[in-house]
Amino acid sequence: MPLYAALPELLLPNGFTHWHDESEVLNGGQIKTDTNAVLAYGCEIYQNPPALNDSFSFKKLLAAGSYNLFVLTVLGLNLGKLKLEIDGNLAFDDMDFYSSPVIYNAMPQRAITIPSDGLHEFKFTVFTKNPASSNYYFSGRKIWARKI
């Protein structure tokens, strides 16, 4: 039995913060970090080169419940659309990072559900792009969630 299964609900985290440079690349180019003083935290983090079906993941220990998930990102002319699967189940597929003009420190959010207490895999995939976008970049620095 995993240790977290023996812990009372009060001890399970009700949120997380994840830095994109710590993501595990599942498909596509490696994670690259560039200095950029315009952006919060002074950097831009992305898979390079960008491609359709770029994907990355991370795991977090969480209590069951409803959460708001946020992404600190750039919205721009060459960015793709992202979907999220939690433990292999689609959580959303409508996060479009295309924008004209560019928005440097955007924080789009989505509601997600964690169905059970425990360790959960978050898998993000660039699965398409806006027809007006010129590429499939995802430029995220920080991904975080807080229980509603």
pLDDT computed for residue 129 by the predictor:
98
SS3 133: coil
Question: Cα 73 to the chain's mean position, in Å?
Answer: 9
Q: Give me the residues of the chain with pLDDT under 50, please.
A: none
E strand or H helix that includes residue 5: helix 3-6
Q: Tell me the CATH number at 111.
A: 2.60.120.260
Here the tokens at position 80 are 């793709």
Domain housing 13? 3-147
Quote the pLDDT of residue 128: 98
- In which region does residue 37 sit, left (phi positive, over 0), alpha (psi from -120 to 50) or beta (all else)? alpha
| Phi, psi angles (nearest 5°) of residue 138 | -130, 120
Backbone φ and ψ of 77, nearest 5°: -80, -15
Amino acid of residue 120: H
Mean pLDDT of the chain: 95
What pLDDT does 10 receive? Answer: 59
Q: What is the predicted pLDDT for the residue at 11?
A: 82
Provide the pLDDT for residue 4: 60
How many domains is the chain partitioned into structurally?
A: 1
* Predicted local confidence at residue 135, as pLDDT: 98
